[in-house]
Structures are given as structure tokens and as C-alpha cells.
Amino acid sequence: MYTQAKPESKNGNFVGTAESAFLFVCPTPFCANLTRMPLTPQALAALRQDYSQRGLDLSDMAPDPLVQFQQWLAEAHAQQLIEPNAMTLATVDSTGQPWTRTVLLKICDARGFAFFTNYNGTKGAHLAGESRAAITFWWSALERQVNITGRVTKASRAESEAYFSSRPIASQLGAWASPQSSTIPDRSTLEEAFIQAKERFANAPIPCPEHWGGYRLEPETVEFWQGRRSRLHDRLRYVKGADGGWSITRLAP
């Protein structure tokens, strides 16, 4: 609900907008720390950024999109962004409904883009039925995104086990404790499962669960997007040919 606030004044004159004369007061503990008013439809529609940092030309691009991606990822990392390897993964269920979630890129090499997860979760079920998927990286500080499509296959067991062993102990235990995407009655159920896993492996190395491992998206298209003024963004798309080579085209924004 809204309540009228005492406006600030200077020399007897009101300072600020009419909107600032009202405060949003939340009557429930849910938003006890809420200090800002919700966006109005007009304010939401007005949110925009005119991108102006740099352009993108064909002469800037490496012949191989994976080489180009690694360069952009390194630049994002140099900006000290929080998890520059975070990517949106899109999969499709058996009805054709797309689903998205954020996962972390853990291996990027000539073979493609690899991430690790519970094979029994929702995305695992989707990929078992439809191997085509897409991923997007968004780096707002650089006004850049990369959009990738391709087919996903499971990583080798040896590769999954090698990565699993490099994870923090708590993350290894979490892989054993969480029945990913399954309905659970409450958080205490999950926490108890974590305690049980911790006790189970208290005096032994934690093995990689059979239901846990890597997936790799082998790219078929890779689009590099650079924000530009007036929404005239630069879009350069690599497309993989039948011979394994890459062609690059410019797309209209």
C-alpha cells in the first residue's frame, strides 16, 4: 500500500517529483527490507541503454568461432564480472515447450561448450529426448552477447569423474544429496540428505555419482553480438559447413 510522505523542501518549496511524495509500505514481513517503489509500466517501458563502447567488423574476427569466443570470455573475465562463464541453456521438452535455466560453462575447447549436472534432472530428460539446444552468454559490462546452437552429447565418464574430483567437497556432497528437479516437502529434507551424504563419505574419497556428469554442446552456429547506438547492433554469425569449416555473415539487428 502507499502512504503519503512528508516532502523535502527548500526555502518553503517542494523538492522532487510528485511520485517522490509517496512511499510504498509493505504490510507483510516478506518485503520488510523493501525500500524502493515498484516500477510503473511507464518506467519499465522507458528502461533502455544506448550502447556505445565499440563496434564489430569481420576483420576483427578469428576464423574459428571457438577461438573468438575464448577471446571474448577472457575479456569478460578481465572485467571481474561475477561468473562470466554463466550461460542460459535452452532445451525443449517432449511437447515442444522450450525451457531455460542458467548453468556454468566448465570446459571450452575445440570440441565445444561443456557443463556438468545431474543427468536425472529436467534438462537431462529434455536432452535425452531432443539433443538440439542453445546457449547464450550475456556480458552487460561489455555490451556483448554470444548465441550458440548445436547438438548436445554426454561427456565421457573419465572426463566427468576428473571434473567432479576437482569440485569443492561441499559441492561433491551436494551432488549426492540433491534429487535434482524432484519435488521435496521442505528444505530440511535436502539439508538432512546432505548430512547423510557427509556422514557416508566421512572417511573416504567421494566418488562421482553415476547419475551425474557432463554434457557438451558441439556448435553449429555461433553469433557474436555487439551493442551499438540507436539499436543498430553488430551481429556476426558463424555457420558450420558440411566440410567442418566456418563461414561468417553479417545479420541485420
Catalytic residues, by residue number, are 231
Which residues lie below 8 Å from residue 112, measured CB to CB, with a gap of 6+? 66, 150, 216, 217, 218, 219
Question: Looking at this protein, which amino acid is placed at residue 51?
Answer: Y
Maximal CA-CA distance, the chain: 77
| Of the candidates 151, 144, 143, the residue with the CA atom closest to the CA atom of residue 223 | 144
At 84, the amino acid letter reads P
Note whether 117 and 216 are within 8 A (CB).
no
Measured CA to CA, the distance from residue 180 to residue 164 in angstroms comes to 16
Q: Can you tell me whether residue 93 is helix, strand or coil?
A: coil
DSSP string covering 28-92? SGGGTT--SPPPPHHHHHH------S----GGGS-SSHHHHHHHHHHHHHHTT-S-TTEEEEEEE
